[in-house]
Chains A and B, each alone.
Chain A
């Protein structure tokens, strides 16, 4: 699944560590999500959507 996490984070000038702290996850997890190696669970996806103030479907794009 593609996502716009890296773009949205960069727009805000946040480092991966800053975003990781806001989501209470490791930086490794942010890297895995941004590179598309890991699709987050629904609760984590909702937390990401809340932080960026966007609906989930505007951040995570279904490629199917």
Chain B
């Protein structure tokens, strides 16, 4: 599908900003793991281990800036996709919560975002394909 120049410029800006933010995040993450894990427990170690969340804010900023640049229809599509993904994820976490009561292994909170991200991605791909 041939994109418009306007759309191409927007996406290129988004990829540049997101790529730079993600690289910085990965760099700080590696440093925090390599240096932070062997440290003695304490506030210094806690601060170092949580430090990847500082560049993570840049990732959120990149998403927010992209959201500001896209047109009204694309913005509406993104919002609807997020709402559907949040609903599906809420359904999944509640269901698994009941399953934990039935003896299923406890899962980390870390599993919530990958599930929501994956559902979001699938919904975006399916709706994009359906709209062509």
Q: Is the CB of B7 within 8 A of A26?
A: yes
Chain A contacts with B in 15-32, Cβ cutoff 8 A:
15-18, 20-21, 24-29, 31-32
Task: Count A interface residues, CB 8 Å.
Answer: 20
Residues of B within 8 A of A18 (CB): 4
Q: Is the CB of A28 within 8 A of B131?
A: yes
**Nearest CB in chain B: distance from A22 CB, A:** 9
In terms of DSSP, what is the predominant structure of the interface of chain B? helix
Per-position binary interface string of chain B over residues 69-107, scored 1 when its CB falls under 8 Å from any chain A CB and 0 otherwise: 011111011000000000000000000000000000000
Q: Decide if A44 is an interface residue (CB 8 Å cutoff).
A: yes
**Nearest CB in chain B: distance from A18 CB, A:** 8
Given the known A-B contacts A21-B6, A32-B131, A37-B131, are A27 and B72 also in contact in the complex, defined by CB atoms under 8 Å? no
Given the known A-B contacts A20-B7, A21-B5, are A44 and B131 also in contact in the complex, defined by CB atoms under 8 Å? no
A sample of 13 more A-B contacts (CB under 8 A), given A25-B6, A28-B77, is A15-B2, A16-B4, A17-B3, A24-B6, A26-B71, A26-B74, A27-B1, A27-B3, A28-B73, A28-B128, A32-B73, A38-B76, A44-B71
The 6 A-B residue pairs whose C-beta atoms are closest, nearest first, are: A20-B4, A25-B71, A29-B73, A26-B7, A17-B4, A21-B4
**Chain A residues within CB distance 8 Å of chain B:** 15-18, 20-21, 24-29, 31-33, 37-38, 40-41, 44
